[in-house]
Amino acid sequence: MMRSVPLSCLIFVVMMVALGAIFLWVPTEKEMGIVQRIFYFHVPAAFSSFLAFFLVFVGSVQYLRTREDKWDRLALCSAELGVIFALIVLITGPLWAKPIWGVYWRWEPRLTSMLITFTIYVAYLMVRGYGANSTPVQRISAVLGILAFANVPLVYYAVDLWAADQQLHPPRNVELEPTMQYTKWICYAAFFLLLFRLIAQRMELARIEKAVALLRQKLIDET
């Protein structure tokens, strides 16, 4: 527990620096105005969800290969955090879109593919909730966690895979002035550090939950 204190302090400092850069340092974008600052939450949250879903993929593959519970916990906990960050994306996106597009939502490729990905991982969590920690459900969830990851590259490359007239999102490689670019990287660091810290804490909690469940079952069997 004590070892986590320096990391928590580092995350707090980086997040404060990120917020300061977003609201005090970075200039206001000329065309979109102040609403463009949502970019510094929206995009890092999207990449954080992609990273979490990649960890679901890794944990699922490793669980099927080794049958070790630690990999199953990694997949489950990463899916929970990935869904949360994806929800942040789906909330901040419409808030950003309304002043720019005039509507909160349009069924353009990237938005739609992100919503589909979010729904699939929610289904993953529902499957896990249905069967708790039973081995068959863990195996089925691992397969689903592997298959679901195919949607992540689809979301990322959506702006390239569909015609430009179907896209409202800007291209992947947008030129930003230096202060905006630096602020973006600071926000990436803040979000990634937070993600890894939350996954570590959630995995420890999941380990304790399983230990308690096993102890409860042992007491029931003894009585």
Q: What is the pLDDT along the chain (223 residues), one digit of tens a residue?
A: 445 678 788 888 999 999 999 888 888 877 777 888 888 899 999 999 999 999 999 999 999 999 888 899 999 999 999 999 999 999 998 888 888 777 888 777 788 889 999 999 999 999 888 766 678 888 998 999 999 999 998 888 877 776 554 455 655 566 678 888 899 999 999 999 999 999 999 988 888 877 887 787 777 777 7
pLDDT at position 169, please?
Answer: 61
Cβ-based neighbours of 155, under 8 Å, separated by 6 or more: 46, 50, 110, 113, 114, 117
Amino acid identity, position 56? V
pTM of the model: 0.87
pLDDT at position 167, please?
Answer: 52
Q: How far is CA 12 from CA 15, 18, 29, 75, 200, in A?
A: 5, 10, 27, 26, 16
pLDDT at position 179, please?
Answer: 87
The helix, strand and coil proportions of the chain, stated in percent and rounded to the nearest 5, come to 80, 0, 15
| DSSP string across 24-46 | IISPPBTTTBGGGGGHHHHHHHH
Q: Are 195 and 85 in contact (CB under 8 A)?
A: yes
pLDDT at position 119, please?
Answer: 95
Q: How far is CA 175 from the centre of its chain?
A: 24
